[in-house]
Amino acid sequence: MKDKFKLLDEKIAEAQLGGGEKRIEAQHQKGKLTARERIHFLLDEGSFEEIGMLVSHRSTNFGLEKNIILGDGVVTGYGTINGRLTYVFSQDFTVLGGSLAEAHAEKICKIMDMAMKNGAPVIGVNDSGGARIQEGVVSLAGYADIFYKNTLASGVIPQLSAIMGPCAGGAVYSPALTDFIMMVENTSYMFVTGPNVVKTVTHEEVSSEDLGGASAHSTKSGVTHLTYANEIECINGIKAMLSYIPQNCEEDAPCIPYEMSNEKREVLNSIIPENPNQPYDIKEVITGTVDSDSFYEIHKDFAENIVVGFARLAGKSIGIVANQPAFLAGVLDIKSSQKGARFVRFCDAFNIPLLVFEDVPGFLPGTDQEWNAIITNGAKLLYAFSEATVPRITVITRKAYGGAYDVMNSKHIGADMNFAWPSAEIAVMGAKGAAEIIFKKEITEATDSEAKWKEKEAEYAEMFANPYNAAARGYVDEVIKPEQTREKLIKAFKMLENKVAVLPKKKHGNIPL
Ligand code: HXC
């Protein structure tokens, strides 16, 4: 029996060594942790249970039969994060470049199936040269099996992808199908075709980092939701994010016990400038309203004219969508609509109530926006809000103009409560533009056109640049002082706690993609 124990110990040691000490050292020299180290830092101490450690590939192509490394380049299993069950796969670049083929894919699929059956999140750590070239089509089949499972799991369990090395070719589509992508600056990149192919086809010269590094994807494409300076920060970011979200679509997010006391926040009274055209930072409104230090922003550097993220209000997790007057005056455009819509759908899928802060002058005009389909993309946000059945509350801080008023979680599309600050302006358009259109004749015929325009602008503003017409019709439920916002929201979300809203029976809707 002792010999048998010895054999087992040897096999475990062999698997744990992955591609060997030299390759581990090379990984460290690049500023990267190994697959096992990443799991060690991610999961609660001692909680990791590995599954499939001794799995190996069956390929005999190109001498692969002489290069069998137990585990086949991916470490898979389960453990806990802050005491909550989590499944994880972590690709091991030291083994055949973390390349994915039949056995490697089967291991990932196995834990995804378990996660689905047991209702817990899956975290994928990606560090791979892509499809294992020597194994041919079975590598592609392995990817497709994972893509299919990613899609079926979408909206059932949270799926998070941490990119901690290469993620290229079709391999990018597994993270792309998951809920959130995190990248590490300078050591990770994602692209469908790399710099060499780009150069051959388009004659563009671009580095891996510029083409698909963390910065490119956090600012330009929006592919990544969060970026971090190093892997440990990224791992801590994953843990923080999980604290806001439930284990699966049947559960509620974790909640911190909270006793209501003085919820008045006078700081909110002085944020809106006297001049309605002056910008201010909506994040001051957010942080002044929610539980202290609880705002967890997502997609921070992409489409900054809309702010999205998780927060806690009286200990409960909420999702926030807010126009940002400090960037492009908070206008809605293609990217901000996409960003907002995706976040709204995540929150709705996972029972996270939505809070909207609205200060929006309308949609961004221009050929760029029209020709790139602001119509279809704006409709995404409209659709996402309209079909969301979680508790939904809007606070109009200042402008709520035109179609954007309807889109930004208005009562007409199913918001449960709509509060407005006294500074709210709810109208078809801004007073200047409105006066120019409806008083065109009087303005052009006046001896002093400019003065007439100003007079008519003031007349229109007096009538519509306020929240009271909307309140008179019940489109706004209550006009409140900014300092009351937190208390009103806590009470309203509590009142909505058991909300039941049923959508019409259908196979699925057809969101304008
Ligand atoms: C087999 C691979 C591999 C792969 C890397 N390796 N990628 N083995 N299949 N896809 C091996 C290398 O041969 C090498 O083995 C070891 O991993 C480390 O790789 P290096 O090249 O030495 O590392 P580095 O210099 O850091 O470069 C990393 C890399 C590069 C940029 C990822 O390896 C690379 O370009 N790989 C190929 C990428 C690729 O074209 N993949 C296919 C994409 S198409 P040795 O033994 O020499 O150390 C795809 C389709 C998916 O993925 C379709 C899904 C729909």
CA–CA gap between residue 31 and residue 161 (Å, rounded): 19
Annotation says 213 is catalytic: no
| The pLDDT value given to residue 81 | 98
Residue pointed to by tokens 């956090």? 218
**Using 50, 70 and 90 to split pLDDT, how confident is the model at 118?**
very high
**Which of these is catalytic: 136, 155, 194, 403?**
403
| Residue 96 Cα to ligand 1 middle (Å) | 7
| Residue 102 Cα to ligand 1 middle (Å) | 16
Residues 6+ apart with CB under 8 A from 276: 398, 399, 423, 425, 465
Higher per-residue pLDDT: 2 or 355: 355
Q: Which two tokens stand for residue 498?
A: 């058991």
Phi, psi angle pair for 496, to nearest 5°: -90, 5
Q: Is 133 in the pocket of ligand 1 (CB under 6 A)?
A: yes
Through-space distance between the first and last CA atoms of the chain, rounded to whole angstroms: 61
CA–CA gap between residue 52 and residue 508 (Å, rounded): 36
| The pLDDT value given to residue 213 | 97
- CA-208 nearest atom, ligand 1: 31
| Residue range 175-190, pLDDT digits in tens | 999 999 999 999 999 9
**Using 50, 70 and 90 to split pLDDT, how confident is the model at 285?**
very high
- CA-67 nearest atom, ligand 1: 46
Q: Which domains does the chain have, with CATH numbers?
A: 2-242 (3.90.226.10), 266-429+465-495 (3.90.226.10), 431-464 (no CATH)
What residue type is 205 in one-letter code? E
Please state the rounded mean pLDDT for residues 428-447: 89
Ligand 1, from 64, 66, 96, 126: best to mutate by most atoms within 8 Å of Cβ? Answer: 96
Q: Which two tokens stand for residue 402?
A: 């035109």
Helix 35-42 × helix 231-242 angle, to 10°: 40
| Residue 34 Cα to ligand 1 middle (Å) | 17
| Residue 72 Cα to ligand 1 middle (Å) | 14
Q: Is 115 in the pocket of ligand 1 (CB under 6 A)?
A: no
Q: Is 411 in the pocket of ligand 1 (CB under 6 A)?
A: no
Say if residue 170's pLDDT is above 90: no
| Residue 167 Cα to ligand 1 middle (Å) | 10
| The pLDDT value given to residue 433 | 85
- Counting residues of the chain whose pLDDT is more than 70, the rounded percentage is 100
- CA-132 nearest atom, ligand 1: 9
| The pLDDT value given to residue 464 | 86
**Which of these is catalytic: 18, 97, 169, 378?**
169
Backbone conformation region of residue 475, classed left if phi is above 0, alpha if psi is from -120 to 50, else beta: alpha
Rg (CA), the chain: 26
CA–CA gap between residue 312 and residue 148 (Å, rounded): 33
Say if residue 352's pLDDT is above 90: yes
**Using 50, 70 and 90 to split pLDDT, how confident is the model at 429?**
confident
Residues 6+ apart with CB under 8 A from 211: 189, 191, 194, 195, 198
Q: Is 212 in the pocket of ligand 1 (CB under 6 A)?
A: no
Protein residue closest via CA to atom 20 of ligand 1: 97
**Using 50, 70 and 90 to split pLDDT, how confident is the model at 134?**
very high
| The pLDDT value given to residue 385 | 98
CA–CA gap between residue 321 and residue 340 (Å, rounded): 7
| The pLDDT value given to residue 3 | 87
Three-state secondary structure along 238-282?
HHHHHCCCCCCCCCCCCCCCCCCCCCCCHHHHHCCCCCCCCCCCH
| The pLDDT value given to residue 278 | 97
Q: Which residues pair with 88 in a beta bridge?
A: 77, 123
| Residue 348 Cα to ligand 1 middle (Å) | 38
- CA-166 nearest atom, ligand 1: 32
DSSP, res 298: E
Q: Is 170 in the pocket of ligand 1 (CB under 6 A)?
A: yes
Q: Average pLDDT over the chain, rounded to whole?
A: 96
Annotation says 403 is catalytic: yes
Phi, psi angle pair for 205, to nearest 5°: -105, 120
Protein residue closest via CA to atom 54 of ligand 1: 170
b/e for 228-254, b at 16 or more Cβ within 10 A?
Answer: beebeebbebbbebbbbbbbbeeeebb
Contact call for residues 88 and 122 (beta carbons, < 8 A): yes
Protein residue closest via CA to atom 19 of ligand 1: 97
Q: Is 97 in the pocket of ligand 1 (CB under 6 A)?
A: yes
Annotation says 362 is catalytic: no
| The pLDDT value given to residue 234 | 98
Q: Tell me the pTM.
A: 0.95
| Residue 154 Cα to ligand 1 middle (Å) | 29
Ligand 1, from 133, 138, 146, 186: best to mutate by most atoms within 8 Å of Cβ? Answer: 133
Helix 334-349 × helix 374-387 angle, to 10°: 20
Please state the rounded mean pLDDT for residues 155-184: 96
CA–CA gap between residue 378 and residue 376 (Å, rounded): 6
Which residue, among 508, 422, 505, 504, has the nearest Cα to 466 in the 3D structure? Answer: 422
Q: Which two tokens stand for residue 385?
A: 């809000």
Positive/negative CA dihedral, 355, 359, 362, 363: negative
Residues 6+ apart with CB under 8 A from 205: 195, 199
| Residue 216 Cα to ligand 1 middle (Å) | 22
Say if residue 20's pLDDT is above 90: yes
| Residue range 57-97, pLDDT digits in tens | 988 889 888 888 999 999 999 999 999 999 999 999 999 99
**Using 50, 70 and 90 to split pLDDT, how confident is the model at 41?**
very high
Say if residue 389's pLDDT is above 90: yes
CA–CA gap between residue 241 and residue 222 (Å, rounded): 18
Say if residue 225's pLDDT is above 90: yes
CA–CA gap between residue 333 and residue 377 (Å, rounded): 8
**Which of these is catalytic: 119, 136, 170, 433?**
170
| Residue 94 Cα to ligand 1 middle (Å) | 11
Say if residue 487's pLDDT is above 90: yes
Residues 6+ apart with CB under 8 A from 10: none
Q: Is 377 in the pocket of ligand 1 (CB under 6 A)?
A: no
Calculate the CA 160 to chain-centre distance. 10
Say if residue 260's pLDDT is above 90: yes
| Residue range 439-484, pLDDT digits in tens | 999 999 999 999 999 998 998 888 888 999 999 999 999 999 999 9
| The pLDDT value given to residue 431 | 86
What residue type is 492 in one-letter code? A
**Using 50, 70 and 90 to split pLDDT, how confident is the model at 275?**
very high
